[in-house]
Copies of this chain bind each other. A is one copy, B any other.
Amino acid sequence: MKNSNLYKGSIVTILLKLLNEHDKMYGYEITQRVFEITNGELKLTEGALYPALHKLEDQDLVEVEIVKIGKRIRKYYRLTEAGTKETVKKLAELESYMKNMRALINPKFREKLH
């Protein structure tokens, strides 16, 4: 699948929001949820997903719990407190982005500050 260029820069927001909603999730599960929610329109690739999760971990925005399922491992990710704060920030940024893009593409949505 070829995702649109527009998703560049959105992965962290998506990850944080899903973790905020689900309490704990593992990587593969996240790719599936994203695929479902977007009706197959967005496919997170592993090459983007895992480095992004690792970076969130390095930044202490998520913490990891390793669980063995038979002989296979799962790494569950859970938001830290800092991660929850960052989620709020990222969601506000997304709202701002969408408002501005809406104004840029639709003159009817333009409004001056009073």
Contacts and interface: CB of A to CB of B under 8 A. Distances in A.
B4 A97 contact: yes
A4 B104 contact: no
A113 B39 contact: yes
How many copies are assembled?
2
Contact of A97 (B7, B12, B13, B103): B7
A17 B96 contact: no
A4 B96 contact: yes
Contacts of A18: 104
B7 A38 contact: no
A6 B17 contact: no
Contacts of A42: 100
A25 B58 CA distance: 44
